[in-house]
Structure 1
Amino acid sequence: MSAPTASAAPIRSRRRSALGWAALCAGLLLAALIGGTLVYGGYTQRAIFDPDSAGPDGTRAVVRVLERQGVTVTIARDRAAAERALADGDATLVLRDAPMLSDDALRELTDRAQHVVLVEPRSRALEVLLDGSALGGFSPDASATPECTVAAASNAGTARVGELLRPGDGVQGCYPVDGEFGLLQSEGTDGRTVTALDGLSVLTNTALPVDGNAALALGVLGQTDRLVWYVPALSDADQNTAAPTLGDLTPAWVTPAMLLLLTAALAAAIWRGRRFGPLVAERLPVTVRATETTEGRARLYASSKDAAHALDELRRAARARLGRLLGLTARTSPHEVADAVAQRLGADRARVRGILVDDLPRTDRELVAAADRLRDLEESVRAAVRTEGTTR
């Protein structure tokens, strides 16, 4: 009966191991499927102002409202798609900040649209498209009245402003706050307009229901039957514009300075790393006698003329021995050891503390005298303990 039982145990062990590996592989496969579904199954992290984003900083709500009003919204996620959508020239272009586009590319793209709306105005776009306008201050969560003749602003009434703008020549400002404006608009002789406003305070899903933001958004974005919402991509940069290299961005003196530092480091390594002779082979482990160690430490203390340090070493060893003699723990402080010694010998506590803790020798002669007193004190304690332990 014992043989079958012994043979069945390894089989059960192998079976449990196989089941464990199978469970691990199944778990890894399930994790891979879930990760692949999240990455390639249609989920995409949307950026701020993205017209497909339903998050707080997205703009899907205003897009849906425009579509219900009969406006055809085209989302262009690269420059080529935006140019194709603007081919007819009768659409409104919504433009975020596009630092990858050059000034000429920015003008060429916006010239294809009937109206341009800058929802994330930056200094360069304001300078190029709004006749020298510039960024101003910031007025968080403030409501302002239009006080201008722009139809979209006057019809909307009070709206929220955030980032403020300073108008250039011929540019009209709306929603004034301390001499700066929450909306700028310039209008050409052909009726073409360029409008700039802080989209984060007006167009996002969170800000749209506040005050007259919804009416302002519809008035600015719904000027034509077609709206092209351009989402810039990194690949939209001009092909003939090469990105500056690290050498182009660094000052001219950096390269010579780095070469000089490398040369100095190499010279220092050679200087400090040279060998002063052949290596000496020595068999390990090396046995060093205790007397040699003691004499070596004594020579070091004598050469450094540190009598106090030498006496501290003697005291530390003597206190350890005295503690064991008196039955004290290893954590007993030096003063408590001195007090216990004084109590056992019936001696003056201050004198015993001076021998074990406080006295500081300044010369070798004082060090020898202190060592003698320390030895005599230890011998007295040994004699007292030995006398107490004698049976009568």
Structure 2
Amino acid sequence: MSTATDAPPERSMTDAAPRRGRRIAAWVSIGLALLVIGGIGGAMSAAYQWAQRDALDPDSAGPAGTRAIAEILRDHGVEVRVERDRASAAEALGTGRATLVLPDAPALSDDALAELADAATDVVLVEPRARTLDLLLPGSAPAGVAPDEAIDPGCEVEDALRAGAVAPGAVYAGDDGCYPASDGFGLVVGSVDGGRVAAIDARPLFTNEHLAENGNAALAVNLMGRHPLVVWYVPSPADTDLADTNPSLGDLTPPWVSAVIVLLLIAGIAAGVWRGRRFGPLVAERLPVTVRASETTEGRARLYARAGDPLHAADRLRIGALRRIAALLGLAPNDAAPEVADAAAGRTGLDRRAVRGILIDDIPRSDADLVALTTRLRDLEDAVRTAVRPERSPR
């Protein structure tokens, strides 16, 4: 008795260890998956941010950066100062004659752009848009894209003539320009208050990957190196003077909202771990009523009798008999009724037509015929069983 009572606890303890190990392994796998997904997301975000910073950045050695032209200018004795806020750029421009290299700056207002350009002797717009062109080079505007081929200067500007042919990207409409293509010029030059403003698409010309092509490097040095100082302004969304910008969701919510959201997420995860339940084995539920098979059979028989349809009842009896006879003869469950009838006649030696009449053809017209058919079905099934499994004679 003691052995029988001690066996179940031992089995439960041995079964609990693998289940606990699988549960721990599942949580470890979930944690590793979250770490991998977070790492991939962080890497993609960092790559995107680096790609945004890389474009036309004089401190970037990537393909889209412009560090190469900045170093070439320094080798020619030109001081290059990279400024990332407007106040520092204006302060550097106030030290003497200088060239301002100005990419497109959508975060600055028209007044801020004009004030920054007025502090410089020369301005080189390296990626101008329509607003910047209209503000600093009145009468000029974007005019499409040049074909992908080198174009001669076709103008009297000395800087372009010394550089030679280049393959400009975007072209601009204007009164005076070089590298004519389509309906504009790859380089537009204008004189302003003893200085000069030049507009050019720097991405296909002055970036690190394209600087060595055609006369790109010479043109960049000629445009930017006219004065001993180059102030290269790198704009950013944070360096803005626009007061009516649309606030973000973070600006509209109090500072404590982000911390509360993070805390709620952590609390939700902790609650899920604490109260979570895995699906266990199926539990047999005791039904309030148990119906015996004989009662179900009798109830169905009463329904058939009340309906007065002996043929339907005969079909149900024949289906059951055919299934059992087919199993006795080793036939497939889906074999047709004529095949089962022929096999039964062949095994028992009975008349084939008589067996088919019992299993298929005879139609009962009354309850008496149904009772007679039931008896004949039972006798046929017994004959098949006897032929398949003959009783051994007693010793």
TM-score (norm: length of structure 1): 0.56
* Distance verdict in 2 for CA 1:156–1:324, change over 3 Å: farther
Choose which of 65, 72, 77 in structure 1 pairs with 2:79. 72
* Alignment partners' CA distance in 1, 2:378 and 2:223: 103
Partner of 2:162: 155
Choose which of 245, 264, 271 in structure 2 pairs with 1:243. 245
Secondary structure of 1:346 counterpart:
helix
* Distance verdict in 2 for CA 1:325–1:158, change over 3 Å: farther
* Alignment partners' CA distance in 2, 1:201 and 1:93: 20
Give the deviation of 1:138 after TM superposition: 2.4
Partner of 1:273: none
Secondary structure of 2:179 counterpart:
strand
Give the deviation of 1:382 after TM superposition: 6.1
Contact 2:328 / 2:385 at 8 angstroms: preserved in 1?
Answer: no
Partner of 1:172: 176
Partner of 1:49: 56
* Distance verdict in 2 for CA 1:121–1:387, change over 3 Å: farther
Partner of 2:340: 344
Contact 2:58 / 2:65 at 8 angstroms: preserved in 1?
Answer: yes
Say how many residue pairs are matched. 257
* Alignment partners' CA distance in 1, 2:144 and 2:212: 24
* Distance verdict in 2 for CA 1:196–1:126, change over 3 Å: same
**Cα RMSD (Å):** 4.0
Choose which of 197, 207, 212 in structure 2 pairs with 1:204. 207
Give the deviation of 1:338 after TM superposition: 3.9
* Alignment partners' CA distance in 1, 2:379 and 2:246: 86
- List aligned pairs for 1:248-327, cutoff 5 A: 287=288
Contact 2:329 / 2:388 at 8 angstroms: preserved in 1?
Answer: no
* Alignment partners' CA distance in 1, 2:54 and 2:148: 22
- List aligned pairs for 1:1-392, cutoff 5 A: 45=50, 46-139=53-146, 141-167=148-174, 171-188=175-192, 190-238=193-241, 241-245=243-247, 287=288, 337-339=333-335, 341-346=337-342, 386=385, 388-391=387-390
* Alignment partners' CA distance in 1, 2:148 and 2:378: 86
- Which amino acid is 1:181 matched to? F
Deviations 1:77-119 (A, max 9, x none): 1111101111135100001111110011110111100111111
Secondary structure of 2:87 counterpart:
helix
Unaligned runs of 5+ in 2: 1-34, 250-284, 301-315, 344-373
Which is higher, the Rg of structure 1 or of structure 2?
2
Give the deviation of 1:193 after TM superposition: 1.1
Contact 1:139 / 1:163 at 8 angstroms: preserved in 2?
Answer: yes
